[in-house]
Each structure stands twice: as structure tokens, then as C-alpha cells.
């Protein structure tokens, strides 16, 4: 049976193995396994090309390899090419490497309402923001305003994919944070973001792709204000579910995967 795993450096913090192994067990997929694959950037291409021969059917890809994953693939989905990064690799029996980006649709999958027609404030302009912007525009968002600490990066991103650049927080239905603000324990997330804690109450939903042991300041403030929230672990579950379905051909047991990721 196929082996699967997650490629990254570092990758020991990943909750993907627990999530996928729980899903295999829930569906009785005996012989399937999922493991951590810590790989230095210089060895990434060599390692990935060796995986099919070692019995791997697929692999997720995390920092810092998502751009390299797309570059070495033999073919890729239109979304992965548009985003410029891949987080899911599927290996054919003949060794062909297929690349996809399940990060993008995962963000839309996790929303509590349809993104079509929504106004969005997107914080950040890195690789994750690129996936989010593409996904939200593809889903029919009416307006995506992009803020980034370095304005030039936001200008480059919107020039390539769409949306508009803003220098401060704006009114919107949906607030999406893709910056690293809140990643370090003990820091005040709002010190690094262009909005005050009380302003969170003005959004219908807050999505924070940062996750850790507990709720981020942004998610905690939204919850306290009665605003719907989506945290980084839910995005992890949703992108993992899409990878799982691609590799196994089975409908993913979302509740099982969610419980394992949060456990």
C-alpha cells in the first residue's frame, strides 16, 4: 500500500501525520502510512524524485519547499501554476510527479458563508497570501483589499493576480490574516497588524492562518465579539482532506481528521 508524508524543513511540528493516520484507521485503509519527511532545501529535488521508487504515492509540502515542488513537477494544475506554488504532490506508477495546491481551495472550503460577492481584507503578501488571493477571487469575491507591511510586495501581488492595495484596514465582510503575526508565543498580535482589537467586531468572519497551542489574539478577539472564526488548524484539516481524497479516492472523514489535528 502507498506511503505518504509531509516534506519540510523543519517539519517536526507538523500535525499532518496524526491527522492522516487517524483518517486511514477510520476508513480501514490497512497498510497506508504517513510520515514526517525532513529535507534540506539542497536535497529536496533529489529526495522527491526518489520517493515513488520507495513506495510513496503522495506527499504534502510545507515551508520552505512549495515553490520548488511546483518547479520539479512533470505536470501541475492550473491553480498551482497561477499561484506559483504547490503543497500536494502525487506520484504515478511510472514516477510522474503531479503538483497541486490544496491550500487555496481549503481557505474557501472553511468559510462559514459563500465567498461569492464578499468584500475581503487580506493581510500579508507572501506565498500563503498569494494562494488566498487567487482562491477568493476565483470563488467570486467582489473586492479583495491587500495590506502588507511592505507596500511594494502587495503591489506586485495584486498586479499579478488582481485585487487592490490598501495602506490601512478597511471595512469588509471577511478578514484574512496570512502574516506571521501571532506566531511567536507571548507577542501582542495587534501590535503588528493594521487594526485595533475592537475593530475586529466589524467583520462577519475572521480567518487566521497562524495556529499554535491556543487561539491567537485575533481569533480570541473575534470570538469575544461574537464574530465567526476560522483558525489555521481548520485550514490544515481542509487542505489535508483534499490531499487525502486525491491519494486514496475516498471521501475524507473530516471530523476524525479535525479531532486528530486538534488533539
The predicted-structure confidence for 120-171, as pLDDT tens digits, reads as follows: 999 999 888 999 999 999 999 999 999 999 999 999 999 999 999 999 999 9
Q: Distance between the two ends of the chain, CA-based, in angstroms? A: 26
pLDDT tens figures, 32-60: 999 999 999 999 999 999 999 999 999 99
Whole-structure pTM value: 0.92
Mean pLDDT, residues 176-189 taken together = 87
Residue 201 has pLDDT above 90, yes or no: yes
Residue 2 has pLDDT above 70, yes or no: yes
Mean pLDDT, residues 214-222 taken together = 94
Cell numbers given for 36? 514526517
> H helices of 191-250, where?
217-224, 232-248
Residue 1 has pLDDT above 70, yes or no: no
Compute the Cα dihedral for 81, 84, 85, 91 and give only its sign. Answer: positive
Which one is predicted more confidently, 63 or 207? 207
Q: Judge whether 259 is annotated as a binding position.
A: no
The answer for 162, left when phi > 0, alpha when psi is -120 to 50, beta otherwise, is left
Q: What is the mean pLDDT of the chain?
A: 95
Q: Judge whether 183 is annotated as a binding position.
A: no
Q: Judge whether 87 is annotated as a binding position.
A: yes
Q: Judge whether 232 is annotated as a binding position.
A: yes
| 66 annotated active-site | yes
* Residues contacting 168, CB < 8 A, separation 6+: 147, 194
| Residue 184: band (very low, low, confident or very high) from pLDDT cuts 50, 70, 90 | confident
* Residues contacting 133, CB < 8 A, separation 6+: 122, 144, 146, 157, 158, 161, 162, 163
Q: Judge whether 101 is annotated as a binding position.
A: no
What pLDDT shows up at residue 187? 81
Q: Judge whether 130 is annotated as a binding position.
A: no
What pLDDT shows up at residue 77? 96
Q: Judge whether 242 is annotated as a binding position.
A: no
What pLDDT shows up at residue 183? 81
Q: What is the CATH number of domain 3-101?
A: 3.40.50.10860
What pLDDT shows up at residue 168? 97
Task: Please list, residue by residue across 66-79, b when 16 or more beta carbons sit within 10 angstroms of its beta carbon and e when fewer do.
Answer: bebbbebbeebbeb
What pLDDT shows up at residue 25? 98
Q: Judge whether 14 is annotated as a binding position.
A: yes
Residue 13 has pLDDT above 90, yes or no: no
Q: Judge whether 34 is annotated as a binding position.
A: no
Q: Judge whether 148 is annotated as a binding position.
A: yes
Q: Does this chain's domain 3-101 share its CATH topology with 105-233?
A: yes
CATH class of domain segment(s) 105-233 = alpha beta
Domain ranges within the chain, ordered by starting residue? 3-101, 105-233
Among residues 66, 98, 238, 258, which one is catalytic? 66
Residue 66 has pLDDT above 90, yes or no: yes
Amino acid at each position: 500500500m502507498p506511503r505518504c508524508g509531509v516534506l519540510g524543513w523543519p517539519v517536526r511540528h507538523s500535525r499532518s501525520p496524526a491527522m492522516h493516520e487517524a483518517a486511514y484507521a477510520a476508513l480501514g485503509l490497512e497498510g497506508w502510512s504517513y510520515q514526517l519527511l525532513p529535507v534540506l532545501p539542497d536535497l529536496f529535488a533529489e529526495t522527491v524524485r526518489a520517493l515513488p521508487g520507495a513506495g510513496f504515492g503522495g506527499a504534502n509540502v510545507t515551508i520552505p519547499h512549495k515553490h520548488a515542488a511546483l518547479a520539479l513537477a512533470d505536470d501541475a494544475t492550473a491553480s498551482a501554476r497561477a499561484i506559483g506554488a504547490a503543497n500536494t504532490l502525487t506520484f504515478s506508477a511510472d514516477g510522474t510527479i503531479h503538483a497541486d495546491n490544496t491550500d487555496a481551495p481549503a481557505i474557501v472550503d472553511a468559510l462559514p458563508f459563500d465567498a461569492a460577492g464578499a468584500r475581503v481584507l487580506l493581510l500579508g503578501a507572501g506565498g500563503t497570501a498569494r494562494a488566498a488571493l487567487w482562491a477568493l477571487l476565483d470563488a467570486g469575491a467582489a473586492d479583495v483589499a491587500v495590506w502588507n507591511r511592505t507596500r511594494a510586495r502587495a503591489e506586485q501581488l495584486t498586479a499579478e493576480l488582481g485585487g487592490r492595495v490598501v495602506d490601512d484596514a478597511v471595512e469588509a465582510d471577511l478578514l484574512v490574516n496570512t502574516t506571521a503575526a501571532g506566531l511567536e508565543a507571548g507577542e501582542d498580535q495587534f501590535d503588528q497588524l493594521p487594526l485595533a482589537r475592537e475593530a475586529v467586531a466589524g467583520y462577519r468572519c475572521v480567518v487566521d492562518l497562524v495556529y499554535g497551542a491556543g487561539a491567537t489574539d485575533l481569533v480570541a478577539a473575534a470570538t469575544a465579539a461574537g464574530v465567526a472564526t476560522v483558525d489555521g488548524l481548520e485550514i490544515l484539516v481542509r487542505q489535508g482532506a483534499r490531499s487525502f481524497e486525491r491519494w486514496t479516492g475516498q471521501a475524507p472523514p473530516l471530523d476524525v481528521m479535525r479531532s486528530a489535528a486538534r488533539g
